[in-house]
Amino acid sequence: MPERIGFISTRFAGTDGVSLESAKWAEVLWADKHISKWYGGRLDRAPADSLCVPEAHFGHPENEWINQRIWGRGQRSRQVSRRIRSLAEYLKGTLYTFVEQFNLSMLVLENVLTIPMHVPLGVAITEFLAETRIPAIAHHHDFYWERTRFSLNAVQDFLEMAFPPRDPCLQHTVINQSAQEELSWRKGVPSTLIPNVLDFENAPPAGDGYASDVRAQIGLKPGDIMILQPTRIVPRKGIEHAIKLVQSLGDPRYKLVISHDAGDEGFEYMHMLHELARESGIDIRFISTRIGEVRQFNPEGQKVYTLWDLYPHANLVTYPSLYEGFGNAFLEALYFKVPILINRYAIFARDIEPRGFKVTAMDGFVTKNVVEDVRRVLEDAPYRREIVEHNYETAKRYFSYRILRRSLRTLITNVTGL
């Protein structure tokens, strides 16, 4: 029997992992006739299918006021407690409105009971589940205990209560084995492992001409080789290793292109990369002003491209991250059949590498062997075709919609009893 499913998070907008993966879940659920509705503080979903509650966004002024007084300190005031509970009570009322307005039969809670960027919303959802007993699935991407910035806090009671709660009507899903083990050890609850996926059963759509000029638009010449770093500029992405790689290749044709900006973690790291690139003598392009969530034209009349417009024009993807919860950029490179350099971060080494992908892998630093393997990938066309075709077929086997579809059918049966 088709379900009417409400997706809840602080935000469903843009290209963050939660927004992307929730859209994939909704697409797979739609194929099984289930209907999806959306609740969040910032939304880019269809308005007719959504309830936007600004206070539910982690960047809302009231939530920011709370966050400034609960993280990095071990004690909170009575006023902070009062305002957490007040906002939670208000948000709980909006959850009742959401369920009633769309006549929902179950919920999918996207990372909102996982990382405590909005403590009042987590409390509101936990109480709402306890009061209604509505069937629910919690999709966990990154837990608070995985982030140093949440280590010292004044809300341990709320973290124990709601991030995530121990609720018999709540099914938990995680995206990697380490999270599955930690959740069991810390909270004593079982979970289902569902990795991030892409639609490998269907190849990327053929180019429509819009992005045919993207290389020229970002200043590349016909003979240049685009090495793409498809991430935000934050320290855990290890972009200094991509700079080292391009420097070691020692060929002016190799251009390092970084797609996104510095995000919300400050600009010191970006300034360091600028200086490092200057000292290394490499050609680096920061093109975040030309990359957007949707195709459009900027105020100067220039085209704005999406990240997926870039992949078909890349000769190599660099992904030297120090830590990832899973790694969407890895799957996207495979999907567009682009070879990839990857740092063997823990989740990759444990969850992905054993599947047998053919990638250039580094262990924390760029070695001569890494450089020579990248050079071969870039210069030996038959070898490059062999590895990208192998990687696509391997990803199709382990990280396709088929895997997600099977898991979701089981979860829905578990929570509904049907």
Question: Considering the chain, what is the average pLDDT of its residues?
Answer: 94
pLDDT for 184 equals 96
pLDDT at 61: 97
pLDDT recorded at residue 391: 98
E strand intervals along 25-135? 35-40, 42-43, 50-52, 106-110
Helix 328-335 × helix 381-398 angle, to 10°: 120
Torsion sign, CA atoms 114, 117, 123, 125: negative
**For range 361-389, the mean pLDDT:** 96
Q: What percent of the chain has pLDDT over 90?
A: 88
Question: Strands of 360-362's sheet, edge to edge?
Answer: 283-286, 254-258, 225-229, 316-319, 340-343, 360-362
CA distances from 96 to 58, 149, 176 (A): 20, 32, 32
Contact, 214 vs 314, CB < 8 A?
A: no
- Say whether pLDDT at 15 is over 90: no
Q: Where are the domains of the chain?
A: 4-197+401-416, 214-398
pLDDT digits (tens, 9 = 90+) for 92-117: 999 999 999 999 999 999 999 999 99
Give mean pLDDT, residues 220-237. 94
User: SS3 letters for 24-42?
Assistant: HHHHHHHHCCCEEEEEECE
What secondary structure does DSSP assign to 167-200, as a single string?
Answer: -TTEEEEESSHHHHHHHHHHH----EE----B-T
Percent of the chain whose predicted confidence (pLDDT) is above 70: 99
d(CA 324, CA 343): 10
Given a cut of 90, whether residue 207 has pLDDT beyond it is no
Phi and psi dihedrals of 332, rounded to 5?
-65, -40
Closest of 260, 264, 325, 340 to residue 21, by C-alpha: 325
Label the pairing between strands 50-52 and 35-40.
parallel
pLDDT of residue 263: 65
Q: Is the pLDDT of residue 186 over 70?
A: yes
What is the structure's pLDDT at 377? 96
Q: Quote the pLDDT of residue 325.
A: 85
pLDDT band at 1 (very low <50, low <70, confident <90, very high): confident
> What is the pLDDT averaged over residues 204-212?
88
Cα distance from N-terminal residue to C-terminal residue, the chain = 8
> Which is the CATH superfamily of the domain at 4-197+401-416?
Glycogen Phosphorylase B; (3.40.50.2000)
pTM of the predicted model, to two decimals? Answer: 0.89
The mean pLDDT of 336-359, rounded to a whole number, is 96
Mean pLDDT of 391-402: 96
Q: In whole angstroms, what is the distance from residue 8 CA to residue 125 CA?
A: 9
Q: Which residue has the tokens 């105020």?
A: 299
pLDDT given for residue 399 in this prediction: 96
| 345-359: average pLDDT | 95
Amino acid 265: pLDDT: 66
Distance of alpha carbon 336 from alpha carbon 356, whole angstroms? 18
pLDDT at 382: 97
Identify the DSSP state of 281. Answer: T
> For position 162, what pLDDT does the model report?
98
> Range with the lowest mean pLDDT among 137-146, 238-247, 294-303?
294-303
Q: What is the pLDDT of residue 264?
A: 60
- Tell me: pLDDT of 418 over 70: no
Strand partners, 255: 226, 283
HSE toward the beta carbon, residue 43, CA cutoff 13 A? 20
pLDDT at 147: 87
For 291-317, what is each residue's pLDDT tens digit? 988 899 988 899 999 999 999 999 999
Q: With bands split at pLDDT 50, 70 and 90, how would you rate the model's confidence at 364?
A: very high
Is 90 exceeded by the pLDDT of residue 386? yes
Rounded CA-CA distance 66/95 in Å is: 21
Superfamily name and number for 214-398: Glycogen Phosphorylase B; (3.40.50.2000)
Do the domains 4-197+401-416 and 214-398 sit in the same CATH topology, yes or no?
yes
